[in-house]
Amino acid sequence: MAVSKNKVKPRPGVQAFKTRLESMGEGDAWTVFRMPFSVEEVFGTRARVLVKGTINGFPFRSSLFPMGEGRHFMMVNKEMWEGAKIQEGRAVQVVLQKDTDVRTVKVPRDLKTALFQNKTARNLFEKLSYTHKKEFIRWVESAKRPETRARRIRSAVTMITQGRTYGSKNESA
């Protein structure tokens, strides 16, 4: 994975490079690419880093994850794969920088109503990380039937008041 010269004019804190994707994880379940630079030197940390940028010109917001020995990788999800028109085995052009923008979620009206009817749930939901909020919302919105959606909203409010996050226990709805 060599860093290539590219047409992107470098800016402080912006990394531009060409790389190949690889499979990782149990059963090669993830598609990732490794950072061809020291994340610690560029972003000042060896921990997870929120980033934004483009892959083959397609915009994304994601995270760089530590993998030990000071190295980091980034996962490429289906939306990025399709939006960037990635082809198996071909190199991709990546431009990324640290994402310091506040990450917010749009809470669906019915979930918002349920949260406002339960002050404890509302307060705890507001304290959840962006990712945990996003997962609750994704779970509620993925329901195909109105009764399933309503049941998931009730379950979400219960889970939140119990201090649980989506995925912390097998959800039944």
CATH code where residue 76 lies: 2.40.30.100
How many structural domains is the chain composed of? 2
pLDDT at residue 114, rounded to an integer: 97
Joined tokens for residue 146: 């109105």
Residue 103: inside a domain: no
Q: Whole-angstrom Cα distance, residue 62 to residue 35?
A: 13
pLDDT at residue 24, rounded to an integer: 78
| Structural domain span for residue 122 | 109-161
The span from the first CA to the last CA of the chain, in angstroms, equals: 43
pLDDT at residue 172, rounded to an integer: 46
3-state SS class at 3: coil
3-state SS class at 41: helix
The low-confidence residues of the chain, meaning pLDDT below 70, are: 1-12, 168-173
Q: What is the value of pTM for the model shown?
A: 0.62
pLDDT at residue 166, rounded to an integer: 82
The model's pLDDT over 113-150, given as tens digits with 9 standing for 90+, comes to 999 999 999 999 999 988 899 999 999 999 999 999 99
Residue 1: inside a domain: no
pLDDT at residue 167, rounded to an integer: 73
Residue 39: inside a domain: yes
Joined tokens for residue 152: 């998931």
3-state SS class at 158: helix
